[in-house]
Amino acid sequence: MNQRSIIDVPDLSPDEINSLMDTAEDIISHPDAYADACHRKKLATLFFEPSTRTRLSFEAAMYELGGNVISVTDALSSSAAKGESVADTVKTVSCYADIIAMRHPKEGAAAVAARNASVPVINAGDGGHCHPTQTLADLLTIRREKGRLNNLTIGLCGDLKFGRTVHSLINAMSRYDGLKFVLVSPEELKLPSYVKNEALKSRNVAYEQTTDLMEVIGSLDILYMTRVQRERFFNEEDYLRLRDSYILTPEKLKHAREDLSVMHPLPRVNEISVAVDEDPRACYFKQVLNGKYMRMALMLMLLGLKRKEDC
């Protein structure tokens, strides 16, 4: 690895994460100061797995920083379809771009890319493994909504087994004090024991597990809903059986606190009723926007670029 890359959230120190969130807030307040920060820089977005949101977010982020984007959006038409290795692909792309954002269906692909690229690589999702920029978006959203990242009761609901955003968020948040996690899932989709051991038990973080959302909804500061993802299942029957385990509706939200924040990494299928979108507690589209700002902040950091001082 010749340049610093971000494969997972722990690649960033707590101070760096705070600094990224400060930069994101500054971008929100002073967009003009960043409008040309990436002038003459090129982002390559290599997406070997379908994605709308994350790819557009990275591309919008680079354009808003005054840079340009080159893109591989369709794996079927790319060199990977001809059997080219990830290593060769990123060595080639490093010749064209200043920074790479990559999504790949294979777990660990981003780490392989980072070892072989001569420019920074940002993991935009490697299978069910890591998705650090989603977690950075989540952290900024929590900080902006709650004004803090400590002393919170955070409910995580849905697919806690395969949900990489959940694992990553638990890992990142467990660094802060006074947290309690409430893990709501069907038995088949419970949080894996290694995540519990590494992120919660080893750091003495309080948590409880339940299958009943309504039992706990009134105690939550944050409710993080997740989608049961078809692509993580080998068996279609299991997917269909578990898909509709939890659906958040306005009726269920009547039992929640007035200051609850409802989050979701999106896309949703049907786990949050559309009627909930009108509720002021719904934060998931703010999360999308915050994701763009955090990706802007992250690219600036990895490229060693700063804002214009006189704006």
Partner 1 sequence: MNVDSIRDGIVIDHISAGSAMKLYHLLGLDSLDVPVAMIINAVSAKRGRKDIIKIDADIPVDLDVIGYVDPGATVNIIREGRLQEKKQIGMPETLVNVLRCKNPRCISSCEQELDQIFRLSDRASKEYRCVWCETRAADL
3-state secondary structure 119-152: CCEEEEEECCCCCHHHHHHHHHHHHHHHCCCCCC
β-pair partners for 184 = 157, 210
Give min distance, CB of 60 to partner 1, in A. Answer: 28
Is residue 85 near partner 1 by the rule CB under 8 A?
Answer: yes
Give min distance, CB of 234 to partner 1, in A. Answer: 9
Is residue 86 near partner 1 by the rule CB under 8 A?
Answer: yes
Kindly identify the residues of this chain, within the stretch 194-233, that bind partner 1 according to CB under 8 A.
Answer: 194
Among 31, 66, 108, 186, binds partner 1 (CB under 8 A): 108
Is residue 112 near partner 1 by the rule CB under 8 A?
Answer: yes
Give min distance, CB of 194 to partner 1, in A. Answer: 7
Burial 156-188 (b: 16+ CB within 10 A, else e): bbbbbbbbbbbbbbbbbbbbbeebbbbbbbbee
Contact between residue 46 and residue 58 where contact means Cβ atoms under 8 Å apart: no
- Site residue total, partner 1 (CB under 8 A): 16
Q: Give the Cα separation of 43 and 295 in Å (integer).
A: 12
CA atoms within a 13 Å half-sphere pointing along the CA-CB vector of 9:
28
Q: Tell me whether residue 109 or residue 248 sits nearer to partner 1 (CB atom).
A: 109
Is residue 106 near partner 1 by the rule CB under 8 A?
Answer: yes
Q: Tell me whether residue 28 or residue 87 sits nearer to partner 1 (CB atom).
A: 87
Among 70, 87, 247, 289, binds partner 1 (CB under 8 A): 87
Among 64, 126, 159, 271, binds partner 1 (CB under 8 A): 126
DSSP state of 187: G
Burial label for 31, CB within 10 Å (0-12, 13-18, 19+), is: middle
Is residue 105 near partner 1 by the rule CB under 8 A?
Answer: yes
Q: Which residues bind partner 1 (CB under 8 A)?
A: 85-87, 104-109, 111-112, 126-129, 194
